[in-house]
Structure 1
Amino acid sequence: MRIRATVAAVSGALALSALVAPAAHADELVGDTKISNVVVNGGKPVVVAATGSKSVTVTFTATDNSGIAWAQPILYRGPDIDRAETGAIANSSDGTAKCTKVNATTSTCKATFTLKQRYNLINEVAGSWKVWALAAAEDGDYVQKDNAKSFKVQRLSKLTVNASPEPVKKGKTITVTGKLTRANWDTGTYTGYSGQSVKLQFRKKGTSTYKTLKTVKTNSKGDLKATVKASADGYYRYSFAGTSTTPAVNAAGDFVDVK
């Protein structure tokens, strides 16, 4: 019997609201069916902007000695599928994956999902997500995995930089300001990311490598400010290493002419 799932709003967040037989309590295996090679979004974190939606593709391999009849993946955030805080089912009409037969025992399966701001994405669900997956064989065997693959869903980050004055005399002080913001899925805007360590870096004109000068922290509004002594023509930038909920980002270098 196929597993079907629907997504419904619960207190402003979304949750997987219905899962029917076979029950989705934990991993289950009947027979020799297998799921392997699960890949989400090409192996990269899923990064979503402040507004709009993001299409996410999941691929995997399913095998059984009798061949694969059908398969279904579900994306969710939570300790397990029964306690999912939010999630997404495949965009197909019945929520299942499209499985293409490779040979008598093996199929490659693919499903596309939509993650959308204020639909199944709010700020508190950024971070680690999981793929629940089930593959059913032609002979009635099946395998069900509560966590077939873990992946990250992150809030898009932006980083700016401005070095001044420019031009500047050698040995004088340069003030480098900037701002680190990230998508706020609750409001559909970009807001400052406070208390984050960000590296101030410099690349001398004619070279290709940035070197870290110092590390500063963003204030409550995400603002950055640091001072350095002017030594040579070159580019200043801020560099953020990222967190589990927010991807790494580098500001475009700002050139300063030193006289």
Structure 2
Amino acid sequence: MAGTMWKAVVAGGAALVFTGVAAMPAGAAEGGVSFSRVSVNGGKPIVIGVKERVEVPAAFRMTTTLRYNYGPMVFPYRGTIERPETLWNAIEGSDCKVVDRAKGVCDFEEWLYIDPRDLDFGNEDAGTWRTAARVFLPGDSQDIDDVNLPVRVQRATRLTVDASPEPVAMGRTITVSGRLTRANWDTHTYQGYAGRSVSLQFKPAGASSYRTVKTTTSGATGSLRTTVKATGPGTWRWTYYGNSTSGASTSGGDHVATRPRSMHSALPRVMHTV
């Protein structure tokens, strides 16, 4: 994206005026405001699909004895702090929760919204962003700071699974297939994600957790296919752990029952001659 992305809609965040403190004069250099305890999405990557607007929770502390008009906020940005390229459609902020009135310390909560259907949003927006904090002051002034917090933005992935035959004789071969797809923000569709290492996992009947049995690489259309031996009844699934631009995902589980191997098939074949 080039330039500043999307128009802002800032709600809430009513300014708390500390009595007896003069406003910053118009045109004054930024300063007199500090931000701390910044959290965006609980420290987790922001994973975005192709249609659903994503709500990203944030929280921060602002310390200032200056009056301010509105908009204490934090948000992902790229470029320079003076002319940031931003990543949000709308921001809603809470009112100040006073921590120390004499020192002008307030805690805020925030909800940042990102819509992948926006025309300016595309695949190039996946990756690591920085975090800015900003407040608008009287007289067309503002204080904007880089708070030294990287935020990872990822394209969502999806996985399917199919294990067969069902049921299967003990010791026989099970074929597990599936497909890995990834959100394409340019076309607003999920497309095959090739060349990715994906883990096949198994949870035996009665167990509480999965274990990784083997890994395989997705094909040209994101296809997955491998074989294993049936050692008992249980559930099979695929897991992809993601990368810097793509989110992690896990398929649903496909349960496969087993039956004893027939005695007839287990016995060696005897040739009779006359």
Q: Same fold (TM over 0.5)?
A: yes
How many angstroms apart in 1 are the aligned matches of 2:224 and 2:27?
53
Question: 1:131 — aligned with what?
Answer: 131
Q: Using a 3 Å threshold, how does the CA distance of structure 1 residues 84 and 216 change in structure 2: closer, same or farther?
A: farther
CA contact (8 A) 2:89 2:114 kept: no
Cα deviation code 1:196-238 (max 9, x no counterpart): 1011111111111212111101112111011011111111111
1:46 Cα deviation after fit: 1.8
Q: Using a 3 Å threshold, how does the CA distance of structure 1 residues 57 and 206 change in structure 2: closer, same or farther?
A: closer
CA contact (8 A) 2:77 2:132 kept: no
How many angstroms apart in 2 are the aligned matches of 1:85 and 1:58?
19
Bigger mean CA deviation after superposition, 72-81 or 35-44? 72-81
What's the secondary structure of 2:131's corresponding residue? strand
Give the fraction of aligned pairs with identical amino acids, expressed as a percent: 37
Amino acid at match of 1:30: G
Q: Kindly report the root-mean-square deviation, in angstroms, between the aligned alpha carbons of the 2 structures.
A: 3.0
Question: 2:172 — aligned with what?
Answer: 172
Amino acid at match of 2:177: T
CA contact (8 A) 1:184 1:191 kept: yes
Question: 2:4 — aligned with what?
Answer: 16
CA contact (8 A) 2:158 2:181 kept: yes
Q: How does 1:100-111 map to 2 (within 5 A)?
A: 100-102=96-98, 103-104=100-101, 105-111=104-110
Q: How does 1:82-231 map to 2 (within 5 A)?
A: 87-88=87-88, 90-91=90-91, 98-102=94-98, 103-104=100-101, 105-119=104-118, 120-135=120-135, 144-231=144-231
1:98 Cα deviation after fit: 4.8
Question: 2:233 — aligned with what?
Answer: 233
CA contact (8 A) 1:88 1:113 kept: yes
Q: Gapped runs of 5+ residues in structure 2?
A: 7-25, 260-274
Q: Using a 3 Å threshold, how does the CA distance of structure 1 residues 125 and 58 change in structure 2: closer, same or farther?
A: same
Q: Which structure has the bigger radius of gyration?
A: 2
Q: Gapped runs of 5+ residues in structure 1?
A: 1-12
What's the secondary structure of 1:16's corresponding residue? coil
What's the secondary structure of 2:209's corresponding residue? coil
Q: Using a 3 Å threshold, how does the CA distance of structure 1 residues 142 and 75 change in structure 2: closer, same or farther?
A: closer
1:173 Cα deviation after fit: 1.0
What's the secondary structure of 1:15's corresponding residue? coil
Question: 2:15 — aligned with what?
Answer: none
Q: Using a 3 Å threshold, how does the CA distance of structure 1 residues 116 and 22 change in structure 2: closer, same or farther?
A: farther
How many angstroms apart in 2 are the aligned matches of 1:162 and 1:75?
41
How many angstroms apart in 2 are the aligned matches of 1:212 and 1:258?
20
Bigger mean CA deviation after superposition, 166-175 or 40-49? 40-49
Aligned length: 233
How many angstroms apart in 1 are the aligned matches of 2:217 and 2:43?
30
Amino acid at match of 1:108: D
